[in-house]
Each structure stands twice: as structure tokens, then as C-alpha cells.
Amino acid sequence: MTIAKGPFEANWESLRQFECPQWFRDAKLGIWSHWGPQSVPMFGDWYARNLYIEGSDQYRHHLRMYGHPSKVGYKDLAPLWKAENFDPDSLMKLYVKAGAKYFFGQAMHHDNFDNFDSAHNRWNSVKVGPKRDIVALWRQAARDHGLPFCLSEHLGASFNWYAVNKGADKKGPYAGVPYDGSDPAYADLYYNNNGKFFEAHGENCFGDNWYTDDPEFALHWFNRIKDVIDKYQPDGLYSDGGLPFGEIGLKIVAHLYNTSAAIHGGVNQAIYNQKDTKPEVYTIGVLDIERGQIDRSAEHPWQTDTSFGDWYYNVKDVYKSEGEIVETLVDIVSKNGNLMINVPQRPDGTIDEECHYILEQMAVWVQCHGEGIFESRPWSTAAEGESTAKAGAFHEARVEWKADDFRFTTKDDVVYAYQMAPSETGVASIKSLAKGTSRNVAKVTKLGAGPVAFKQDVDGLEVQVGQHSTFGPQGLAVQFE
């Protein structure tokens, strides 16, 4: 397991010298394409797994639309992904307009299908389905639009995640008939060698079972991930879980950073995302919190990953509103975080009208209020008001913001105060900017409008905001004497 030479060694002490690159700290908003063959049924995330769980919605959908998984399984679904209308340049243009400052593509999901010309897996988008290198196309589009290009890998958990395809129905006309995951002809897709896991744990691939302890698979994971790093030199790599496979995982992180350093004059410009919240782990890169966040300003930059709706395209989806998305963005940025958000794609590569509309509306808000978001840093006070998002992963829910809720950022000696909800009186009263507590205020500008009247006293800064310029939080730029 050789890795690139450079400033980092594959051990904890060395990798904790990681310093977050400025591009990530400045970016604040990224777009993610969580896309692959599992989009074909247009029936949501984890389809390649859940079609093998008797009684699940996706099992029933698969049975009725394609056939029983003993006869028609994921091996038959993957070739149906054609991406025939995929236009990465047009999508990237729209994402940039909506405020994206970096882009994540998906190298592979738990389904063990590579979205690139893999050297270690025949189940890839060049040989099966689209017959195109999806990762290379995304990379070119991101580079053409000046965005850092990153990749997510979900391969580490796939060994145990896929064990359900070794089962069989417990009742009905196919009771006891093995699913196609037991067919040795497709062991390279289905991992037929982990039948013992299914016998011992059944459908449970969570918690301590997320990653296998099989050493051969850990080496296989290393080779696959090293291959994608070597081919595309990504500016970031995301693992869907904690750092996989101990020392082998450390080798991949060191290889990522040293590969980046070789391109950037000896200084690493790449990030590594993983989800273990222990400081001794997450300080080797950037902590990622899936569908959730933290309740305070953090010392180290971090990231929330979420989606407009389901991770894979789902005809039953109810999307987040554009208002909820920009509220979440402001709240996260005030705490030294970034928001990476997935835009669901249909199997042909397009996005639907609802997603297009949300992105266009995000563009309107960013154009008006983005000054205090991008390239900003946390202020000494992150938040004011009682409303708050619940901390932790998988806890996202829309906050019922009030007019006395504010989130703060700073840039170039200007403090930006975002009023999270409009007040009936058209006045913003900000206690954190009271005379004596704060420096004397010289000017307040309502973003998207212009200078506004204000009064600063010992009770706070009272600003005549009027109506909000757009939906979502209203930004105020506060300058001092």
C-alpha cells in the first residue's frame, strides 16, 4: 500500500497538523450530486439495499415494476442508468448562480458501482449504463466554472450494507428462494463472501457493524479510493462514516493531502470529511454532520451535508423550501460551518422544475444578501435570540424563527447581522450591538437596499429595516466609527 510522498505521514500525529485551506473557509456553500444507478426507479435512497428487504416500500416497488429480486436484482437495474440528458456544464452554471463555491460529485455509493473508469471494478459508468466517465465530466465542468472539485465515497460501508441480498423471502410465493445476491456469477457486485454477516446480523448494518473487519475488503477499499484520487486529484474527499479501517484509512488521507501538496507547491489544499465527532479524529480534516449541525460557534471549520429532499431522486419527495435552505445556510455560517446540499437528479441527468426553481430563488437571495456570507468569519457573538437548531446528526427540522433572532458574521471589520424573521414593526433591535457592549456604530446598510436609519444606546442597536428585501433572513451591514 504505497502512498504519495509529501508533508504528511499516515499517522495521527502527522495528520493532526492539517490546516483547513482558505478556499473552504471562504466558500460556505457547496452543491453535491448524490447520483448513480439507484436513481433509476426514482424511488429514493438505499434502493440497492432495500429492494432485498421483504415488505419495505422499495421491495414492493421493485417487485411490481421490475420483478422479484430472486430473478431481477440490482445487477439488472444498474445497466438501465443511461444519463442520456446529462449536461454537467449547464447544471454547474446554475449551481454557481445559486451561490455554490465548491462541488462534490459521487465516486461510488454503497451499491458498489463506480461513477468513473475504475481500474478495480467492472461495475462502473464507463462499462455499464451511461458508458461515460461521470466523475471526469463533473470535474471538467467544475474546473471550467472555477470551483474546487471534491468527491464522496460510500464504499467503506458497502460490504456489510449489501448483506441483505443474500437473504430470501420468509413468506409468499417466493418463500425460501434465494435473492440474486447469492449468485456467485455476480460476487464482484454483491460481495458473496459476506454471507456470514447476514446470517449473524440480518438487516442490521448500523453502529459497530457499519464497517466490516474483513482485512481483504479493507485492502480492496484502499485500492479503489487510491485509484480515484490518482485519476482526478480531488480537492476534497468525503467518507460516509467515520474514518474507515484504521491505519489503512490514515494512508488514504495522507495520500490525498500529499497528492494535493504536490500540485500546490508543497502545501496541501485538500480537505477530508468524515463523521466521527471525537476531536482526536476530526482534527485530521473537516468534520461532517449529516442532516444536522451544532448549537454553537466552533473553533474548527465544519460542514453540514443535506439534500433538497431524499438523497436519490424520489417521486414522493417533499423538498425543502428556498427559505428553509437560506435560513439554514445563515445559521451554519454564523457557527463557522459550511453547507453542502444535494440537488436530486433524475436518472437521465436532469433536475426537475421544482429543484430548478429553488436554485433560481437561492440565486436571488445570494445576490442580495451573500455579501456577509461568502468569505466571512464568525463574529465574537454567533447568535442572539432563543430560537435554535437542534444539535447533532439527523436532527434537521425547520426552525420557527422570530424577529428577535439574529445570526452574525464578520468580514473586513464589518459585522453582518441577519434578522432571521421579519418584525411586524419593521424594526430590528439587536442587543449584541448595544452602546458600551459594542463599538460605536457609524453606518448601517440594509443589504439589497442601502443605508437605513438607526439608533444605538445601552439597550441595543435599533434599525429601521422596513420590509425584508427578499424571502429569508435580512442582512444588515454594520460599520463602526
pLDDT of residue 241: 97
Q: What is the pLDDT of residue 197?
A: 79
The tens digit of pLDDT for each residue in 344-359 reads 999 999 999 999 999 9
pLDDT at 255: 98
Q: Model confidence over 155-176: pLDDT tens digits?
A: 999 999 999 999 999 999 999 9
371 domain residue, yes or no: no
pLDDT band at 195 (very low <50, low <70, confident <90, very high): low
Out of 290, 323, 356, pick the residue that ends a domain.
Answer: 290
Asked whether residue 113 is domain-assigned, the answer is yes
Average pLDDT, the chain: 96
Residue type, 33: S
DSSP state of 79: G
Whole-number Å distance between alpha carbons of 273 and 241: 9
Checking if the pLDDT of 199 tops 80, the result is no
16 CB-near residues (< 8 Å, 6+ apart): 280, 283, 284
* 8 A C-beta contact, residue 376 and residue 28: yes
Query: What CATH number is attached to the domain comprising 224?
Result: 3.20.20.80
Which residue shows C-alpha cell 424573521?
421
Q: Are residues 219 and 79 in the same domain?
A: yes
Inside any domain, residue 55: yes
Residue 267: inside a domain: yes
Looking at the structure, do residues 124 and 245 belong to the same domain, yes or no?
A: yes
DSSP summary character for residue 166: G
Residue 286's region, left for phi above 0, alpha for psi from -120 to 50, else beta, is beta
Q: Residue 196 above 80 pLDDT?
A: no
How far apart (Å, rounded) are the C-alpha atoms in residues 191 and 197?
A: 11
pLDDT tens digits, residue range 394-427?
A: 999 999 999 999 999 999 999 999 999 999 999 9
DSSP 181-231: GG-GGGHHHH-GGGHHHHHHHTT--SGGGSS---HHHHHHHHHHHHHHHHH
Per-residue confidence band for 194, with pLDDT thresholds at 50, 70 and 90:
low
Nearest residue to 86 (alpha-carbon basis) of 356, 351, 352, 354 = 351
Tell me what pLDDT residue 402 has: 97
Determine the length of the chain: 481
Lowest mean pLDDT, pick from 129-143, 195-209, 239-253, 427-441: 195-209
180 falls within a domain: yes
Over residues 471-481, mean pLDDT: 97
Task: Say which CATH number the domain at 407 has.
Answer: 2.60.40.1180
Q: What is the mean pLDDT of residues 441-453?
A: 97
Which DSSP helix (H) or strand (E) runs through 359? helix 353-369
Q: How many domains does the chain have?
A: 2
What whole-number percentage of the chain has pLDDT above 70?
99
**Pair (271, 407) in one structural domain:** no
Strand duo 377-384 + 427-430: pairing: unpaired
**Assigned domain for 256 exists:** yes
Q: Kindly indicate the confidence band of residue 198, based on its pLDDT and cuts at 50, 70 and 90.
A: confident
Read off the pTM.
0.97
pLDDT attached to residue 259: 98
Higher pLDDT, 167 or 469: 167
Q: Which of residues 258, 290, 322 is at a domain's end?
A: 290
**CB distance 330 to 370 below 8 Å:** no
Q: Which domain range does residue 285 map to?
A: 12-290
Residue 146: pLDDT band (50, 70, 90) is very high
- At which of 290, 313, 340 does a domain end? 290
Residue 159 lies in a domain: yes
pLDDT digits (tens, 9 = 90+) for 45-79: 999 999 999 999 999 999 999 999 999 999 999 99
